[in-house]
Structure 1
Amino acid sequence: MFRLKTLPALAALMLTTGLTAAPAIAQDRPGEGTQIVMAQPTWDTGWFHTEIYRQLLQELGYEVGAALTLDNPPFYQSVALGDVTMWVDGWFPLHSTYESTFEGSAEIVGAVARGGALEGYLVDKAAAEEFGITSLEDFKRDEVKAAFDRNGDGKADLVACPPGWGCEINIEHHLDAYELRDHLNPIKAGYSASMADAVAAYESGEHILFYTWTPNWTVNELVPGEDVVWIEVPEVDLPDMSLADAATIAGLEGCVNDPCMLGFPANDIVPVVNSEFLADNPAVAALLDAVEIPLTDIYAQNAAMNEGDDDIEAQAAAWIEANRAAVDGWLDAARAAQS
């Protein structure tokens, strides 16, 4: 078993090696002359691992330009049509609602991270203790709504998801299933800006309620168990109840209960690739099947990005070099598959 190096050491590595974002030139380049149109999601917490994969594909000789930033629906339509080759930001089962769009034309190969992509609702720890908040059900209480009502409309403000995101579907379902429409005001503006505003409110002593997912910079900025706590849903109620068992997580640090009924199934973060392209490029299939990126490294990069270090190309290049032994094994597997 190899041991992946983590991101905190990468800044020093870049300084000592003079590393740039340019990919290494490999001797064996099975992708030479083949173009890949890569997409990335509108949530910037997925851009780091997207860039890692992009540079690995370049090391195999593929022509991969800057990733196109797409919402979920246009991506899954485009990858099915072959207008876009792939992305590495499928969230399943969250994105299962799009399967009918790409079934038979695109497929999931490998995984960036399995099972560690969580979703749920959090409140600041002080409010949870002051008002005894353990569940979304508590936001039907007048004193709780008032404590979280920042715009004076009589409802608690919830940082939710922008329109078109997979999480918006589940949140909207929850608002109806738990009869919360008269009690919660979902904020659907740009997520990063909305969360930055929530963090500022927290730092000024206000109470906050927000949805988040992992990996995400929010769990570095507002640490579960220290600054905030995960709260539960009244009961698991999902658009697809076949996923209900995956919506309760045992041993979740910073949750009000254990096991924690988050109300969202744990997700795998996976590549989704056009099937025709995969059939012609077994090296890509082998690479995607081999790569894995620790969530802790993604957390760390997301936190650095949130602090203003937005040179994702250099960060990805540094991560690759820090993990060169593992990376070379992945690339060798890809080359062998193409031969």
Structure 2
Amino acid sequence: MAVLGAAALVLSACGTIEDDDTIAIARATWDSGHMQAAIYAQLLTELGYSVTDPAEHTLDPNGFYPALGNGQYDLWANGWFPIHDIYLEAERVTGQSVELPIEPVGYQVRSGALQGYMIDKATADSMGITSMHQLADPSVAEVFDHDGDGLADLIGCNEGWGCNSVIESHIADLDWGGNVEQVVGDYGDLVAGVQASIAAGEPALFYAWTPNWTFEALRPGVDAVWLESSAIEDDEGLTLVEGLDGCAADPCNLGWAVSSIRAVAHEDLLADHPDIRRLLEVVTIPLADIAVQNALMAGAERDYSEEQIVADAAKWIADNRATVDGWLETARG
């Protein structure tokens, strides 16, 4: 934490919101959120602020939330809730029981982002697999054991992502977990491997979320299917999704709460700049628009430049100019 504190002092000396209204904005390591970060940066620029380039401050949640709490950054657009609730707990983030001066603001996407487990459709059809609970049977789990250690290889996500921790908790606490291990690495590379496996007719078990470019490459109900899985805690039915393509049940219990994507900001920024709070409160970006841009990245085989991402953000703003002008008018009060 001493390193983060020192970094915060350096940034303050160079100029952040305290002295020249420069907003220090970061972005997440998952590229499906990069256009949204660029949109927020461009909106803040239109509001009259200087903004750091999000591409130069790409962090996973384990790195971002402590840095935000220490004042090293002012905000990002890539908060996923409730999966990121754990990062609002001060003791987890800083090791101290002191309330963090950070706050989720607005709903970029409200209750529309899905997460869960999928397998290739061929294996699902041939073995009648519709639920993660079937992996409690070792003979089912071994179908997905690619390294010969007796455990199904569940293609997971990056170390430091919230989903990584949730998958580990599922493995520890749910009935199928004793027969499963999470494969950790760069998510894009891992899913590219899943694509290759499915194309070769090999079984694949993997974690998936939307919005994400992978759903252009692995189409639900065509290439892969969702598996049901009970949540550890879900008293309000937050893991149930109706009419989900690629799930055998309706509603489909994914075992993961349907998420909201939200900006998360330092409280000092929000208190000192109420116009920024008002802007963050009203910005929304349709999932369909995010999916279109993610598909462009997928079509480029993940060789997508930062300039293209910035251009995509600018085009989205231009295409939604009347709405954006309304947001800016609201922000200016």
Same fold (TM over 0.5): yes
TM superposition shift of 1:179: 4.2
Note the C-alpha offset of 1:225.
1.4
Indicate conservation of the 8 Å contact 2:171/2:178, yes or no: no
Q: Which residue of 1 aligns with 2:58?
A: 69
RMSD: 1.9
- Structure 2 residue identity aligned to 1:71: D
Question: Match of 1:261?
Answer: 253
Residue 90, structure 1, aligned to residue 85, structure 2 = no
Q: Partner residue of 2:331?
A: 334
Output the TM-score relative to the length of structure 2: 0.86
Deviations 1:278-310 (A, max 9, x none): 111111111111111000111111121122243
Indicate whether 1:166 and 2:154 are aligned: no
Aligned match for 2:270, one of 262, 278, 294: 278
Alignment partners' CA distance in 2, 1:100 and 1:166: 13
Distance 1:262 1:217 in 2: 20
Give unmatched runs, 5+ long, in structure 2.
1-17, 94-98
Match in the other structure for 1:145: 141
Among 193, 196, 201, the residue aligned to 1:200: 196
Equivalent residue for 1:131? 127
User: Quick one: structure 1 residues 242 and 261, their matched pair in 2 at CA, closer, same or farther if it must change by over 3 Å?
Assistant: closer
Question: How many residue pairs get matched?
Answer: 302
Q: TM-score, normalised by structure 1?
A: 0.84
Cα distance in 2 for partners of 1:281, 1:181 equals: 47
Q: 8 Å contact 2:124–2:130 — kept in the other structure?
A: yes
Q: Which residue of 2 aligns with 1:53?
A: 40
> What residue is the counterpart of 2:231 in the other structure?
236
Point out the more displaced range, 73-82 or 316-325: 73-82
Instruction: Name the amino acid aligned to 2:42.
Output: Q
Among residues 315, 320, 324, which one is paired with 2:317 in the alignment?
320
Question: More deviation in 300-309 or 203-212?
Answer: 300-309
82-91 or 143-152, larger mean C-alpha shift: 143-152
Residue 199 of structure 1, CA deviation? 0.6
Mapped to 2, the partners of 1:192 and 1:303 lie a distance apart of 13
Unaligned runs of 5+ residues in structure 1 are 1-30
* Deviations 1:246-293 (CA, angstroms, capped at 9, x unpaired): 122222222121111111111110011111111111111111111110
1:325 maps to amino acid: A
Shift of 1:186: 1.3
Residue 255 of structure 2 aligns to which amino acid in structure 1? G
CA distance in 1, matches of 2:297, 2:327: 27
The Cα shift of 1:32 comes to 11
Aligned partner letter, 2:137: R
Aligned partner of 1:122 among 86, 93, 118: 118
Cα distance in 2 for partners of 1:228, 1:245 equals: 24
Q: Percent identity?
A: 42
Whole-angstrom CA distance in 2 between matches of 1:197 and 1:58? 39
Per-residue displacement from partner, 1:98-146 (whole Å, max 9, x unpaired)? Answer: 1122845111111110000111001111111100101112223344334
SS of 1:77 mapped into structure 2: helix
**Using CA pairs below 8 Å that are at least 6 residues apart, which structure has the higher relative contact order?**
1
**1:182 positional shift:** 4.3
Distance in 2 between the 1:146 and 1:236 partners? 23
- Report if the CA contact (8 A) 1:252-1:258 is conserved: yes
2:75 paired with 1:78? no
Q: Which amino acid aligns with 1:262?
A: L
Task: Give the distance between the partners of 2:203 and 2:110, measured in 1 at CA.
Answer: 33
Q: Secondary structure at the match of 1:205?
A: coil
- Tell me how far 1:42 sits from its aligned partner: 1.3
2-side partners of 1:273 and 1:90: how far apart?
Answer: 10
